[in-house]
Amino acid sequence: MAPHAVAKLPVLAGFEDWEALFQPGRWAALEQILPKYMRPRRWFSGKARTLAGVHIQAALPLRYAEHTAYITLVQVNYADGGAETYVLPLAYTSLAAATRATMPVHALVAKIADGVLFDPIYDAAFCGALLDIIAAQAQVHTSAGDLLASTSSAFARLRGPLGEVLTPKVSTAEQSNSSIIFGQRLIMKLFRRLEPGLNPDLEIGAFLTDHGNFAHIPPVAGAIEFVQGDTRMTLALLQGFVPNRGDAWYYTLATIAATFGHILARPAEFSLTVGAAPGLFADSALPLPPEANTLLGEFAVSAALLGQRTGEMHLALASDATAPAFAPAPFTQEYQAMLLGSMERRAQQSFALLRTSVERLPTTLQPDAQRLLAREDAVFARLRTALAQPVQAQRSRIHGDYHLGQVLYTGSDFFIIDFEGEPARPLSERRQKGVPLQDVAGMLRSLHYAPYAVLFGQAPGVAFSEDEQAALEPWARAWHRWASAAFFRSYLATVGDAPVLPPPTVLHTLFDAFMLDKAVYELRYELNNRPGWAGIPLEGVLQLIE
């Protein structure tokens, strides 16, 4: 670490004994500097919101070897009245040790006397201490609450021989949490945003691990929870490490980029004569035509396998009628009304934003935006029709935030990860039983985004000129169509007539409602963040209503 990095840090004066910072009543100095440190962190979700201040709720001492760290719970208050609690471990080391260390600059928080305050997840000894706590099923009692560690029945197998050293390494792949890989055997997810209740990632992962009827997840090895009175919160999750080549999103982009390159170089080998698009259900009822197999290449098999794994996941999550948190529940009229109300609210918000955003869109997208505004009533009619009819199906636990980025690609198979659900929703909502079609819609929308992401330069090392993008755009449409058909055909074949799906007479309209809901939500997101991408959800909505 360069000395100039330390020179730029804020200084906490008057704390020669750095641990005095963490004594109740002496937190004010730390509270003043934390907003500036936390805002740019990848795991901080409130970047676009106005902060009203921070308040340290607790500082839990964790003593290991000759060191001490404080697991600090920081409540972030927002100007709009909302609040979130973040987990920020903090420790101290000398300037000399910090200069010698390989920790990144963003781990440094402040300068204190002749040392620095830093985030110790980049300290191998601290990471090892967290693993040891879980292995020992330790209980760390503090005045603010207790840290309770536990192991699953799979821990010993996943951990391997006790004499084997598992060197920790912080992963750079996570966004909303921090992950530590231990010797290619275990991976620990430190949840940065803390919420009361059992985190679905632990709950669902433990359920699938214990039941053993769906092996395509990282198995749960253990956890650390924070208990404060009657409130229990998941602080860390330990899982078996799945060797992989990255997530399915980047695998898919790389596959599409290679295909597009071949189309530009050897166009005669490909054909777009696949007929008019009759719709996903019609496409998925038959095997892929030869032209589609040529276009998709190896991804035809991958899409089918991903559909199979998705169906197997849903069947496993609905497999135990004796577990209250997982037993399938009826699709009641009350639930239908609640579902319709939430869909309508999201659609109203998106259309209100679209009406005020049309003139700011790229000129090429404005005609589609006007077409959709003219068909606004059709969107609401589709939603109401789908959820006004009786639905003979069961609700069950689902992934809740399912897309290509939530799947690991091993080179020959797929493993599903991150069962936390949509991070913007309260944890209590994310633990509710939902409709498996929500996950299916999320994955199919992800497959729609993938070819356009390649055209927009998101595939590493690949860039197309404007003329090439225009030439490839019809192929992007075709790729999306046939990849979706391959996925959906395999999914339906895997789930069969299981009660988690409604009968065919209802399936089509209910599925369209979830696809509309997802695309309309994406439209609002893109209008707020990436107007140039708004054409993707615009096309998705128009395909469903025209």
Domains of the chain by range and CATH? 3-122 (no CATH), 145-240 (3.30.200), 248-545 (3.90.1200.10)
Q: Give the residue from 396, 399, 430 showing the smallest Cα distance to 501.
A: 396
Residue 188 vs residues 2, 134, 169, 224, 246: alpha-carbon distances, Å: 29, 10, 10, 10, 17
Please report the pLDDT score of residue 3 as a whole number. Answer: 58
Q: Summarize pLDDT for 308-337 with one digit per residue, the tens.
A: 999 999 999 999 999 999 999 999 999 999
Residue 525 vs residues 402, 427, 514, 520: alpha-carbon distances, Å: 17, 21, 17, 9
Please report the pLDDT score of residue 98 as a whole number. Answer: 76
Q: What does the block give as tokens for 483?
A: 């990849």
Please report the pLDDT score of residue 215 as a whole number. Answer: 95
437 against 163, higher pLDDT:
437
Per-residue pLDDT band for 275 (boundaries 50, 70, 90) equals low
The arithmetic mean of pLDDT across residues 212-236, rounded, is: 95
Q: Check pLDDT > 90 for residue 394.
A: yes
Burial class (CB in 10 A: 0-12, 13-18, 19+), 450: buried
Cβ atoms < 10 Å from Cβ of 237: 27
The arithmetic mean of pLDDT across residues 185-195, rounded, is: 95
The arithmetic mean of pLDDT across residues 169-177, rounded, is: 80
The arithmetic mean of pLDDT across residues 388-401, rounded, is: 94
Helix (H) or strand (E) holding 189: strand 186-191
What's the CA angle centered on 330, arms 232 and 385, to 5 degrees? 115
In the DSSP assignment, the letter for residue 454 is: H
What's the CA angle centered on 72, arms 67 and 74, to 5 degrees? 160
Q: Give the residue from 311, 313, 315, 285 showing the smallest Cα distance to 494.
A: 311
Ranges 134-148, 432-446, 489-503: which has the least confidence: 134-148
Q: Check pLDDT > 60 for residue 276.
A: no
Please report the pLDDT score of residue 487 as a whole number. Answer: 98
Q: Check pLDDT > 80 for residue 99.
A: no
- Distance in angstroms between the alpha carbons of the first and the last residue of the chain: 58
Per-residue pLDDT band for 423 (boundaries 50, 70, 90) equals confident
- Per DSSP, the chain holds a count of helices (H) and strands (E) of 18, 17
Per-residue pLDDT band for 425 (boundaries 50, 70, 90) equals confident
DSSP strand pairing (83-94 vs 193-194): antiparallel
The arithmetic mean of pLDDT across residues 37-52, rounded, is: 90
Q: Give the residue from 225, 196, 211, 212 showing the smallest Cα distance to 431.
A: 196
Angle between helices 299-317 and 466-495 (to 10 degrees): 40
- Percentage of the chain modeled with pLDDT above 90: 83
> Which residues fall within 8 angstroms of residue 19, CB to CB, at 6 or more apart?
68, 70, 92
Please report the pLDDT score of residue 135 as a whole number. Answer: 96
Q: Check pLDDT > 70 for residue 1.
A: no
Helices (H), 243-323: 248-265, 280-284, 290-296, 299-317
To which residue do tokens 């909505």 refer?
541
Please report the pLDDT score of residue 171 as a whole number. Answer: 86
Please report the pLDDT score of residue 380 as a whole number. Answer: 97
Contacts for 360-366: CB closer than 8 Å, 24+ residues apart: 360/531, 361/527, 361/531, 361/534, 362/531, 362/532, 362/535, 364/535, 365/531, 365/534, 365/535, 365/538
Q: Give the residue from 56, 81, 82 showing the smallest Cα distance to 70.
A: 56
The torsion angle over the Cα atoms of residues 374, 376, 381 and 384, rounded to 10 degrees, is 180
The arithmetic mean of pLDDT across residues 148-168, rounded, is: 93
To which residue do tokens 């708004």 refer?
534
Angle between helices 248-265 and 299-317 (to 10 degrees): 160
Please report the pLDDT score of residue 471 as a whole number. Answer: 95
Q: Summarize pLDDT for 15-41 with one digit per residue, the tens.
A: 889 999 998 888 999 999 999 999 999
Instruction: Report helix, strand and coil shares of the chain as percent, to nearest 5.
Output: 50, 20, 30
Q: Summarize pLDDT for 339-371 with one digit per residue, the tens.
A: 999 999 999 999 999 999 999 999 999 999 999
Q: Check pLDDT > 90 for residue 103.
A: no
Per-residue pLDDT band for 113 (boundaries 50, 70, 90) equals confident
The arithmetic mean of pLDDT across residues 480-497, rounded, is: 97
Per-residue pLDDT band for 167 (boundaries 50, 70, 90) equals very high
Q: Give the residue from 488, 496, 415 showing the smallest Cα distance to 448.
A: 488
> Which residues fall within 8 angstroms of residue 68, CB to CB, at 6 or more apart?
19, 61, 62, 91, 92
Specify whether the CB–CB gap between 283 and 276 falls below 8 A.
no
Mean pLDDT of the chain: 93
Task: Report the distance separating Cα 485 and Cα 285, nearest Å.
Answer: 8
Specify whether the CB–CB gap between 109 and 92 falls below 8 A.
no
In the DSSP assignment, the letter for residue 60 is: E
Per-residue pLDDT band for 48 (boundaries 50, 70, 90) equals confident
